[in-house]
A and B are shown apart, each in its own frame.
Chain A
Amino acid sequence: MEFSFTPEQLMFRDQVIKFASKEIAPRCSEHDLRGEFDFDSFRKLGEFGILGLHFPEQWGGSGADVVTTVMSGEALGEAGVDGGLTLAYGAHTFLCADTILSHGTTEQKQRYLPKLASGQWIGCMGLTEPGAGSDVASISTRAERKGDYYVLNGTKMFITNGPIADVAVVYAKTEKDLKRAGISAFIVEKGTPGFRAGKNLIKMGVRTSHTSELIFEDCKIPVENRLGREGDGWLMALQTVEWDRSALLAPFIGGMTYVLKKCIRYARERYQFGRPIAEFQAIKHKLAEIKIFIEAARSLCYRIAWCKDQGRPLNHLEAAMAKLFVGDWSLRPANDAMMLHGGYGYCHEYEVERYFRDSRLAPIGGGTSDIQKRIIQKLL
């Protein structure tokens, strides 16, 4: 057992931190305050090569392994990129583009992947519905085959990048009486008649990512836009879980490192009772709590990434544990970071309140902590 990164991985990590610290992080607070998606930064992520990092070169990527990909996500967080932008990147790259990469035809890959890798197009995934979250088999969006078309009807909910996406991977029932086996996946482009996004939902955190409904009303999708075979949708959605439990969690862990550095700086500079608050044991304990969380969470994510690199089948148990840990156990250190800053921590300028709000999504998005416990319970 050994936990080393290669020199190339470490060098790339440093490059990502340097790039994102200079080009992206300084813009995050302003966009968060306004609740606006930062299109320029998103495209810069594409230009730098992050959006399609693990894609083969022929599709606009660099062919990076999963560990490197996860590491670049962690580096974005460590550079101070907000949770909204990294969530948008995660939904775009792993939930949308990777599904096309893994299951698409050559024509589909040619049409979509280069544009998604460069950031020219933005992608999203439509799975959750108003009445079906983690109970995926209960989705009610229908895709009825009519000759060379499928006709989609239904509504998707809480779709990250929904209002700004150029292309969506959408899951719908092709066999309404079947549960999982009745689910199929489709590629739907913006502007397709019968397809529209709802208005941007105002959220507590990750405010720079835009979230909305996706509404399908007799939306005609050509058969060639189906991903894989009919009934394969469930497995496709399941395959995103590995990314969800590694690459999507990694920026969040990196963000905690960013916050820890801010806390250390503040603790040194803030004087009370004639000395820096860093000298008080209670402050050191808070710094320790944050550090312990970071180190514990990192190994969980990288283990999933490493297993994926080894070509091992998804370990649902470990994936659920990683999500549960990062979600539930992050709340205390996120709170500690804000408390350490006192009144300043409650103000936007110091960024920790943004991190506190962003972190609140961790035990909710991608399957709540209770859902993770339910998965683990079944696998005990």
Chain B
Amino acid sequence: MNFDLGDKEKQIREKLHHLLEADLPGILENLASNDSDKSRKAMLSAFEKIASSGYADLVFGKEETAVASMAVREELAFICPALYLSLESGNGLLINLLSSYGNEQQKQEILPALKSCKGIGSVALVEEHGNIEDNPFESSLTEEGNHLTLSGKKNMVINAAIADWLAVVAMMNSQPALGIVSPDTKGLTIGSKILTLGLEPSLFYEVGARGVELLSNNIMGPFEGEAFISQLRMWEDEIFVGASLGIMRRAYEAARTHAKSHNCGGKPIVAYQEVGFKLAEMLTLVHTAQLLAYRAAWMLDTGDKERGVLLHCAKVFCAEAAESVASNAVQILGGNGYIRGNKVEQAYRDAKFIQIAGTSTERARVKIGDSLLEMC
């Protein structure tokens, strides 16, 4: 047993701040642009800084454990949740897919750029109707002669317009498979940025595929059974747990700073129990969420039979804690917290996404229940 973070992850956490913070406002401004070339350039500039911190080697190079990855993920999400999700849900997820299911050619052509953050990845999973749990995918990969044809509509696809590679999940012979395409492939249409509740600058897009032709070496799968989707969801949930930790810490620290510096009745508002006690509850949630998230990650490392349950427990707890902490942070900042652009109102809106994304908190609870009923 050892509850301390390692030196390496501590150093990367520090470097991330050092490398990103000064340039972050400019990067975010460019990311917000509707000009996808401008957004892409800004993203690659941010990715370069992140990579030079050692983050990419640690997380994508699999040099270290899932626990170490969680520690640096938390920090990047703390600095900028939107940037974190673009990197992890784009590059990180595609790296995991290619590493686990890709052929040698795919690995050689794509992985180096993704892992070094010199390229941008995107994974199109969610269907137009928004549900992937119980409904089969409507997008399809159909064999036609010596090639395959991809058709369908995808929603909430992160990085789609700025990516170098887009992996689209679709049904092939009644089983899920992945087709890897370039965003400028004929027949592929990428809509404009989707306006979202939070996570600005939003880099979510709709993607349409109509008769997109792919060669068989651009396909991963098809995959039998539910294991593929289940694994994909686990990778996503791990990413979203990291996001929750960063978001809630961001909100908590902003609220604490405000409460210690904002005076009322001749003393800082933190001295009032109605504020101080809220902060106490918030910090308790942050601390508890961190420990649960790190333990869930450790179970992924050890292959513990309860790793799936623990990850779902962490997903539910951390996602809901993030919203609760952010909500209380808005309350503590009062009117200031309600003004657009403030860290806490942003965190409040960002946190909602984490409850919905990946395995939603409702589905995760059902899955925890199912697992308990199976195991005990």
Q: Does B100 contact A (CB under 8 A)?
A: no
Please, which residue of chain B has its CB at the minimum distance from the CB of A303?
A: B3
Partner of B276, one of A2, A286, A296, A373: A373
Q: Does A377 contact B (CB under 8 A)?
A: yes
Inside 8 A of B239's CB, which chain A residues have their CB?
none
Assembled-state Cα–Cα distance A302/B294 (Å): 13
Inside 8 A of A288's CB, which chain B residues have their CB?
312-313, 316, 364-366, 368-369, 372
Q: Tell me the chain A residues, 288-334 only, with Cβ under 8 Å from chain B.
A: 288-289, 291-292, 295-297, 299-300, 302-303, 306-307, 317-318, 320-321, 324-325, 328
Inside 8 A of B281's CB, which chain A residues have their CB?
324, 328, 373
Interface centre among A1, A261, A288, A291 (most CB of B within 10 A): A1
Contact present for B277 and A370 (CB under 8 Å): yes
Assembled-state Cα–Cα distance A240/B68 (Å): 33
Q: Do A377 and B292 contact each other (CB < 8 Å), given the known contacts A1-B6, A306-B1, A321-B284?
A: no
Please, which residue of chain A has its CB at the minimum distance from the CB of B6?
A: A1
Contact present for A377 and B276 (CB under 8 Å): yes
Assembled-state Cα–Cα distance A286/B295 (Å): 22
Q: Does B373 contact A (CB under 8 A)?
A: yes
Please, which residue of chain B has its CB at the minimum distance from the CB of A279?
A: B373
Q: Does A285 contact B (CB under 8 A)?
A: yes
Assembled-state Cα–Cα distance A139/B216 (Å): 80
Contact present for B287 and A287 (CB under 8 Å): no
- Secondary structure of the A contact surface, majority rule: helix
Inside 8 A of A307's CB, which chain B residues have their CB?
3
Assembled-state Cα–Cα distance A360/B6 (Å): 38
Contact present for A376 and B284 (CB under 8 Å): yes
Interface centre among B67, B276, B369 (most CB of A within 10 A): B369
Please, which residue of chain A has its CB at the minimum distance from the CB of B4?
A: A1
Taken residue by residue from 66 to 91, chain B's Cβ proximity to chain A (1 for < 8 Å, 0 otherwise) reads as: 01100100000000000000000000
Assembled-state Cα–Cα distance A291/B284 (Å): 18
Distance from B221 Cβ to chain A, minimum over Cβ atoms (Å): 30
Inside 8 A of A370's CB, which chain B residues have their CB?
277
Distance from B339 Cβ to chain A, minimum over Cβ atoms (Å): 24
Q: Do A3 and B1 contact each other (CB < 8 Å), given the known contacts A380-B256, A380-B283?
A: yes
- Secondary structure of the B contact surface, majority rule: helix
Partner of B317, one of A286, A296, A302, A380: A296
Contact present for B366 and A325 (CB under 8 Å): no
Partner of B280, one of A291, A300, A324: A324
Contact present for B67 and A2 (CB under 8 Å): yes
Partner of B369, one of A4, A261, A284: A284
Partner of B298, one of A1, A328, A372: A1
Partner of A296, one of B6, B71, B292: B292
Q: Does B227 contact A (CB under 8 A)?
A: no
Q: Does B248 contact A (CB under 8 A)?
A: no
Partner of B2, one of A2, A5, A300, A377: A2
Distance from B328 Cβ to chain A, minimum over Cβ atoms (Å): 13
Contact present for A292 and B280 (CB under 8 Å): no
Taken residue by residue from 350 to 376, chain B's Cβ proximity to chain A (1 for < 8 Å, 0 otherwise) reads as: 000000000000101110111011001
Contact present for B288 and A296 (CB under 8 Å): yes
Inside 8 A of A325's CB, which chain B residues have their CB?
284, 288
Contact present for A377 and B288 (CB under 8 Å): no
Q: Does A249 contact B (CB under 8 A)?
A: no
Sampled A-B contacts (23; CB under 8 Å): A1-B5, A264-B373, A281-B366, A284-B365, A284-B366, A285-B362, A286-B369, A288-B366, A288-B368, A291-B372, A292-B316, A292-B317, A296-B289, A296-B292, A296-B317, A297-B288, A303-B3, A320-B280, A324-B280, A324-B284, A374-B276, A374-B280, A377-B279
Interface residues of A (CB under 8 A from B): 1-5, 67, 260-261, 264-265, 267-268, 278, 281, 283-289, 291-292, 295-297, 299-300, 302-303, 306-307, 317-318, 320-321, 324-325, 328, 370, 372-374, 376-377, 380
* Extra pairs beyond A285-B369, A324-B280, A380-B260 (11, CB < 8 Å): A1-B5, A3-B3, A3-B295, A4-B302, A264-B372, A278-B373, A284-B370, A287-B372, A303-B291, A328-B281, A376-B279
